[in-house]
Amino acid sequence: MPIGMTLTKFLLEEQRKYPGSSGNFTGLFSDLVVAAKVISREVNRAGLIDILGATGSKNIHGEEVQKLDEFANNAVIKTMEHGGHLAAMASEEMDDIITIHSHYPKGRYLLLFDPLDGSSNIDVNVCVGTIFSILKCPPDGDATEADFLKPGVEQAAAGYILYGSSTMFVYTTGHGVHGFTLDPGVGEFILSHEDITVPERGGIYSINEANNKHWYPGTSLYIEKLKSADKPCTARYIGSLVADFHRNLLKGGVFLYPSDRKSKNGKLRLLYEANPLSFIAEQAGGRASTGDGRVLDVVPTELHQRTPLIIGSRLDVEEAEGFWKRQEAKPPLDLHP
């Protein structure tokens, strides 16, 4: 791997390698990188500048305090709206789509994002992240909500920025998965994980076991099987999807937020969380399922739709699907008509 390969340089090289590929993301990603650095800086100094806490309180400078998730949401919108690459955006934090102001040039892509996934972890200094998904926008007229309701298989690119012990930018444009680590000294994302592949079989399972009273038998039997295997798995659950996913991507493992008796469609959002991570998982050789079928094939009907999610190492996800499908007591999901 060449020393000092920045994200921008890498994207330019990728473009040369795949001249007929779906898009030129260099400019769009440059804007995303700025948003990532701004959010990373704010996440890292959150404790110092008293940015935490409820909206409406004042920081030490007597200014209105913005919650970090609101800060991240505004940072993405403000950084992306004038770049000329987007036709519209949609955020997990906002009810409706975000149109591009008429002052700014419009582009051919739609950006969907979860500005700060795992935000319940901010107050305790645990990993959070920004997740994004990019779709192509139909060429005619202004973008509408219907343009966002596309199955994940139509994504042109997807990725996440993880604000952890270091800040990482991981993405796919459909040609593998690549990871870059922010070098704070030079302020650049440097290629650190080229062509990430997830082990076929992992040794980690990640699920909120406090929900087990609501689980259908297939989930309970699968988790029991993992615990009693000859080589038992270990459990790891951070409670930040992006961080749990990232660890399992590198080490191998399976993350589950399944359908259960309390939450038929699970908890996670299809367009902002499940689709982008499923695209990455598949590009890394893994798998992502609702239990009944491939996440990327689900045709969304609502912007903020939830979906069950089983994601990670391919053989683990297939095994979990096997347990899920053969159970009798569970209702069918309506996601795969």
Residues of this chain that interact with ligand AHM (CB under 6 A) are: 114, 117-120, 208, 239-241, 267
Cβ(181)–Cβ(192) below 8 Å: yes
Q: Among residues 132 and 180, whose Cβ is nearest to Mg ion? A: 132
Query: For residues 181 and 240, which CB has a smaller minimum distance to ligand AHM in the complex?
Result: 240
Shortest distance, position 337 Cβ to ligand AHM, whole Å: 26
User: Least distance (Å) from Mg ion to the CB of residue 170?
Assistant: 16
Q: Of 103, 87, 77, whose CA–CA distance to 143 is shortest?
A: 87
Phi first, then psi, for residue 240 (nearest 5°) are -115, 110
Strand order across the beta sheet in which 234-235 lies? 234-235, 204-206, 254-257, 309-312, 287-289
Q: Which does 82 bind (CB under 5 to 8 A by kind): ligand AHM, Mg ion, none?
A: none
CB nearer to ligand AHM: give 188 or 316. 316
Comparison of 208 and 212: residue with beta carbon closer to ligand AHM: 208
Q: How far apart are CA 126 and CA 134, in angstroms?
A: 27
Nearest to 170 by CA among 199, 188, 135, 195: 195
Judged by CB, which is closer to ligand AHM: 100, or 243? 243
159 binds, among Mg ion, ligand AHM, none (CB under 5 to 8 A by kind): none
Closest to ligand AHM by CB, 107 or 258: 258
Query: Does 93 participate in binding Mg ion (rule CB under 5 A)?
Result: no
To Mg ion, the closest distance from the beta carbon of 71 in angstroms equals 15
d(CA 294, CA 85): 30
Query: Which window, 68-76, 114-122, 153-161, 306-314, contacts Mg ion (CB under 5 A)?
Result: 114-122
Least Å distance, CB 145 to ligand AHM, is 20
Q: Of 323, 296, 295, which Cα lies nearest the Cα of 310? A: 295
**With binding defined as CB under 5 A, does residue 114 bind Mg ion?**
yes
- Token readout for 211 is 């929900």
Query: At its nearest, how many Å lie between ligand AHM and the CB of residue 270?
Result: 13
Backbone angles phi, psi at 288, to 5 degrees: -140, 130
Minimum CB separation of residue 306 from Mg ion in Å reads 11
Among 117, 188, 244, 316, binds Mg ion (CB under 5 A): 117
Nearest approach, Cβ of residue 308 and ligand AHM (Å): 12
What interhelical angle do 26-44 and 7-17 show, nearest 10? 150
Please identify, using beta-carbon distances, which residue of 54 and 60 lies nearer to ligand AHM: 54
**How many angstroms separate the CA atoms of 88 and 108, rounded?**
9
Mapping DSSP to helix (H, G, I), strand (E, B) and coil, where does residue 128 land?
A: strand
Pairwise CA distance, residues 188 & 256, whole Å: 33
Q: Residues in the site for Mg ion, rule: CB under 5 A?
A: 114, 117
